[in-house]
A and B are shown apart, each in its own frame.
Chain A
Amino acid sequence: MADQPTIGQFEQLVLAAILQCRDEAYGVTIHESVEALSASKSVALGAVYATLDRLEDKGLVSSWLSDPTPERGGRSKRYFRLEKRGERALHESALAARRICEVMENAWGAGVWTGKWKPVRQR
């Protein structure tokens, strides 16, 4: 566990997107999934590629090229899948996020998840 790499927020989104896309996880679908997960923020396709490369270097995901497909100009797709380390890293991130959620609910009540919530300065 000690050598488990730390991951940033965008890396968490990309890992979650790969998980969501399952067997169809390649550049375009991962990008669409990341944009959906990050709500209103626009995400550059290149930023997704750069993050996928970084995650692969960290050993959290692996990739392979498919056979060329005619609808893409005869180009291959680069598919991604989560490795065990990636699943563990995503799981730990989700646990940390859940703990943060619990703290917020304890402090601000269940109304924190409604659209009517507004920041309240802590005294």
Chain B
Amino acid sequence: MGGRSMDRKVETCPPKVIERVVELLMPPASREHVLGDLSERYMSPRHYLVDALRTLPFVLVSRVRRTCNPTLDTAVVVMLCFWAVIWGNGEHVWLAAGIPTFVAISVLILRGAYRANHLEFLPPPPSDYEWAFLGVLLSQAILENTFPVLALSPDALLGGFPVGFIMIFFMRWETCRPSCSRDTCETLRGGQR
């Protein structure tokens, strides 16, 4: 079985531009070996691209599953309710609160998946929240220009950001749990310091 792939001599390699794009899209923790395997299977630029695009969703979902905080679903509900309450009793209140919540949580999930050497027992760094903040701001700017009725009010934005993110930060901090043995975790924790 292994011999079959060993016999397959790689005459050419994928075009640098395509390889670079795939490299950027691939989560760093899986990048090295997945790109190597894709190069080994290379037959033509089209085949390489199709192979990479078929592989990427599985790798990304797997990284999200491995890095996603277990209480993120609770955080979504808390953040959604919080923004909805701040926003008040206006029309489309749940949809208006749901959009920034979805954006913020998506950014936090993707940041976790695309972080190199993610250690699940360590809390996510504060820079994740800056990216989520930027994501929400961008989505609100787009909404303001397209569907103003769904954009949060300035009060809701100013009040919701600090309190909402602080709540989620502490929820994620508290629920960081080791997925490895105690000894391994201690070794890795020592290496992180």
Contacts and interface: CB of A to CB of B under 8 A. Distances in A.
A24 B2 contact: yes
Given A45-B54, A72-B36, A73-B35, A24 B10 contact: no
Contacts, number: 92
B58 A72 contact: no
Interface in A85-99: none
Nearest to B36: A75
B33 A44 contact: no
Nearest to A76: B32
B14 to A, nearest CB: 8
Given A49-B62, A50-B62, A73 B56 contact: no
B62 A54 contact: yes
A36 interface: yes
A27 B37 contact: yes
Nearest to A48: B58
Contact of A45 (B6, B35, B37, B62): B37
Interface in B28-47: 30, 32-37, 39-41
B58 A49 contact: yes
B115 interface: no
Interface string A23-64: 011111101110010000000111101100110010000000
Contacts of A45: 37, 41, 51, 54-55, 58
Given A50-B59, A50-B61, A78-B33, A73 B2 contact: no
Contacts of A47: 58
A4 interface: no
Q: Which of A17, A22, A77 gathers the greatest number of chain B CB atoms within 10 Å?
A: A77
A21 interface: yes
A46 B33 contact: no
Contact of B5 (A28, A68, A73): A28
A46 B59 contact: yes
A3 interface: no
10 contacts: A32-B4, A36-B1, A44-B58, A45-B58, A49-B62, A50-B61, A53-B66, A57-B66, A69-B36, A73-B36
Interface of A: 17, 20-22, 24-29, 31-33, 36, 44-47, 49-50, 53-54, 57, 65, 68-69, 71-73, 75-78
